[in-house]
Structure 1
Amino acid sequence: MSGPGGAAAAVAAAEQEERERERERGALWAEVRALLPGAEEALSLALSGEVEECVPPLLRRARALLYGAGGPPRGPAAAALRRLGDVLRDYSWEKLNAGPWRDVGKAWRQVYAFGCLFGALARAAGGGPLAPALRLCDLGLLMGAAVLDNVLARLVRVLQAHLPRGPPRPAPAAQKVRVDPPPAPAIQPEDALPHLHCPSLEHFRDNYLIPQKPVVLEGIIDHWPCMKKWSVDYFCQVAGCRTVPVELGSRYTDEEWSQKLMTVSDFINQYIVNENSVGYLAQHQLFDQVFGRKYIRLYSPQDSENLYPHESHLLHNTSQVDVEDPDLIKFPNFRNAASQSCILMPGQVLFIPVKYWHYVRSLDISFSVSFWWS
């Protein structure tokens, strides 16, 4: 048993720990508050269109709670601000999901962003864990529209800097669905894509871009810092807490294909997804391989009919054929489609001309960066 001296020391340590937490909360709120206008009236709630008349009063009430205490909203004020953020998000979420995304008014996306903002600020002020506040910011960035000079993006940087750094928590073994991909197929010389080392812009333009011929470019991204820094562990460290949209499934034409919002760490711990469908884009593409390898097969637009595109407008740029295991009874003309292939290695860049059909399969845990232009 500890004596009076030990008890006093424990109390003093607890008080010191609480003072340190309060100091950290104060420092965080000072950074957060610096992102916002100094006066309540200066925080504009202007929207880009009409919304239902019950919404503006809710926005003004949330703004008043944010500024009313003269300092960070605590206790009942923080709880009320948090509830208002929930109400604004829930109400606008119905509008965001009532029809096609292209028909969603920007004003309702701004309302959703304000709901995320007020909810995140309430959590940041309340002194609790910051991960829920960061998730709200990410949701606002993904589903909302920019408000207050894109304040959510700036708030993310502040919150993330105050999160504890550490390795991602591993997922239970039962949840992991990683499957080793089959080995890389052999590529015959006559089917191999040409390789070109550090061409001039003029040479690339005249011989590949204008004629719309695919080519593997080498040596043009060796100077990128990511070529030395990026890895799975690096992504977990710098972005493991961030919420992102993830496509789950090998082919987006499969019934089990789905989309889900999850953190980068959860995605890495639970899933590795290979893209196995064939499709094309109405833009040129530079496909940059940063780490890992990918097997890629290309088909010319002239072979479109031999690839049996889906008849629906939504999937008209997607082939029905499994190119590595084709059903030649169902798709007999596929045997007439000529392809070019490569195994894209780290540091290599594949130029894919507009409307070229492309099939991609990961051979390792890999990461690529794509650029599109018209």
Structure 2
Amino acid sequence: MEQNDTRKTDIMSDGNLMFPSIIVELLPTQTILLQTVEQDVVGVPLFSQIQVCLECLFNGKYSSCVQVCQCCLDFLWEKLNTGNWKNVDIQWRNAYALISLAKAVSQYCILHACGDQSVKFEMIMKTIDMGLLMGASIHNNILSRLASTLQMEFGKLTENANIMKEDEKSNEIHTEEFTAKKLKIEIPSSQGLCLIGQIPRCECLSMESFIRDFYAKREPCVITNAMLYWPCMSTKRWDIAYIRKLAGYRTVPVEIGSKYTDDTWTQSLMTVSEFIDRHIIQKTNEGPVAYLAQHQLFDQIPELQEDIIIPDYCFLGQSSDVDINAWFGPGGTVSPLHHDPKHNFLAQVMGKKYIRVYSETESDMVYPHSSDLLKNTSQVDVEMPDLVKFPQFQKAQFHECILKSGEMLYMPPKFWHFVKSLSVSFSVSFWWE
């Protein structure tokens, strides 16, 4: 029977089932949800289908809702993947997030309210994550809040069914020696090149000293002992098992290939547990390198963000906005020589990385690509430089360092840097202006 959509606790299906209480606490009314998307932008056909999705959801027709939602998501997938991502109207992303929400809630109700075991917890989480990856943040990031709520409901934060057996967990705590033995990772040679020296290292650098000696002079530096109080380094120390427990069911984009400049480079969606099993735990010299690189993991999984702290240095700029990205992968992952437009603090949580830094004054000698897409990336392969094709590269002056767990590297805007993981590694970058 038809119900007033402003009283969501009273909306029942034909089977006399209400929304579970955790959904009631999160879900806005049908009318409010419909206002998420502008009909004039997405068109009458899609808007009508969204109405059908919500009517099915709020009338307890969960299976029908899932089916209609999937048809809409398939259509939107094509829409979002046509042309340049930055030119996609936000309303299309709003629509993707809204439909993902309706589908995920229906799936949860099928599993919880109806007791139908054809829907699994991981299926619901994948629906939510696809909404987070492809959609926009709607209704105070409701998809992320729903994910956190469902993880608590299913006890996945404390007991992940996919965590390895106790006798296998020791393999998840990777030391540099373990990684080096399996991958034979080597630091790029500086022979014949213009190495100036090591990047300066300072212990727990004061704000005044940072501004005077590095920020104002546009010089890189490594800051030590400034992360020791972060939960990920102390009370909730990160290791592979902890990351799997907290994020194992979450779907993320993974780069497949040694460098994003390679012709064979591609991306694949997989869960964090699948990524760990395929590319970290069992990693050998065989098969492609995989990297969870430059991903806004902390927006997707706020529980992880609670374990890190934005460095105070990041608030020296004109804006308080800080872009936070995760970099997680096995030893051997590489970020080719490139530069970024913002100030950057790279915080090393797990493992260690080799990093080479060139000032922006060396730009002509590192041979940037001419295309707009890769103009911030060097044509030179730092590990095997072709000095016949790129003769000036051997004159380019650079500093280098090995960034260890608990250390942060500051790099000014437009400074070129090459990064290679020497072990299983988790880094967090903070970009600010």
Q: Are the structure 2 counterparts of residues 309 and 43 from structure 1 closer, same or farther at C-alpha, using a change threshold of 3 Å?
A: closer
Give the match for residue 200 of structure 2: 194
Q: Which has the larger radius of gyration?
A: 1
Alignment correspondent of 2:239 = 231
Q: Pick from 110, 116, 122 the counterpart of residue 126 of structure 1.
A: 110
* Cα distance change, pair 167–43 in 1 and its aligned pair in 2 (3 A): closer
What RMSD, in angstroms, separates the aligned Cα atoms of the two structures?
A: 2.2
Equivalents in 2 of 1:265, 1:92: separation in Å? 27
Question: How far did residue 169 of structure 1 move?
Answer: 6.3
Tell me the equivalent position of 1:156. Answer: 147
Distance 1:212 1:27, change over 3 A: farther
The whole-number CA distance in structure 2 between the counterparts of 1:169 and 1:52 is 48
Check if 1:250 corresponds to 2:253.
Answer: no
- Unmatched 5+ stretches in structure 1: 1-25, 171-177
Query: Aligned partners of 1:367 and 1:44: how far apart in 2?
Result: 40
CA distance in 1, matches of 2:392, 2:36: 57
Residue type at the aligned position of 1:257: W
For each residue in 1:211-270, what CA deviation from the matched residue of structure 2 results, as whole angstroms up to 9, or x when unmatched? Answer: 100111111111111013101111111101001111222211101111121111111111
After superposition, the Cα gap between the structure-2 partners of 1:217 and 1:46, relative to the gap in structure 1 and judged at 3 Å, is: closer
For the pair 1:41 / 2:25, whether they are aligned, the reply is no
Q: 1:103 corresponds to which residue? A: 87
Which deviates more, 82-91 or 59-68?
Answer: 59-68
Give the paired residue count: 334
Which aligned pairs between 1:299-314 and structure 2 lie closer than 5 A?
Answer: 299-314=358-373
Shift, 1:186, TM fit: 7.8
Secondary structure at 2:423 match in 1: coil
Give, as a single letter, the amino acid of the residue that structure 1 aligns with 2:142: V
Deviation at 1:166, TM superposition (A): 3.0
Distance 2:258 2:351 in 1: 18
Q: Do the aligned partners of 1:85 and 1:117 also contact (CA within 8 Å) in 2?
A: no
CA deviation digits over 1:101-146, x for unaligned, max 9? 1111111111111221111111101113121111111111111112
Report the TM-score, using the length of structure 2 for normalisation.
Answer: 0.73
Equivalence for 1:174:
none
In the TM superposition, what is the alpha-carbon distance from 1:92 to its structure 2 partner? 1.5
* From 426, 429, 433, the counterpart of 1:367: 426
Q: In structure 2, how many angstroms separate the alpha carbons of the residues matched to 1:169 and 1:120?
A: 27
Amino acid in structure 2 at the alignment position of 1:166: A
Deviation of 1:28 after TM superposition, in Å, equals 8.8
> Which position in structure 1 is the counterpart of 2:130?
139
Amino acid at match of 2:212: D
Gaps of 5+ in 2: 1-16, 112-118, 166-178, 280-289, 292-332
Residue matched to 2:320: none
Report sequence identity in percent.
37
Which residue matches 1:66? 57
Q: Which residue of structure 2 lines up, in the alignment, with residue 315 of structure 1?
A: 374
Residues 1:94 and 2:94 are matched in the alignment: no
Change (3 A) 1:306 1:120: same
CA 1:346 to 1:46, structure 2 compared with 1: closer, same or farther past 3 Å? closer
1:262 aligns with 270
- The normalised TM-score by structure 1 is 0.84
Aligned mates of 1:310, 1:184 — CA distance in 2: 24
Native 8 Å contact 1:88 1:115 kept in 2: yes
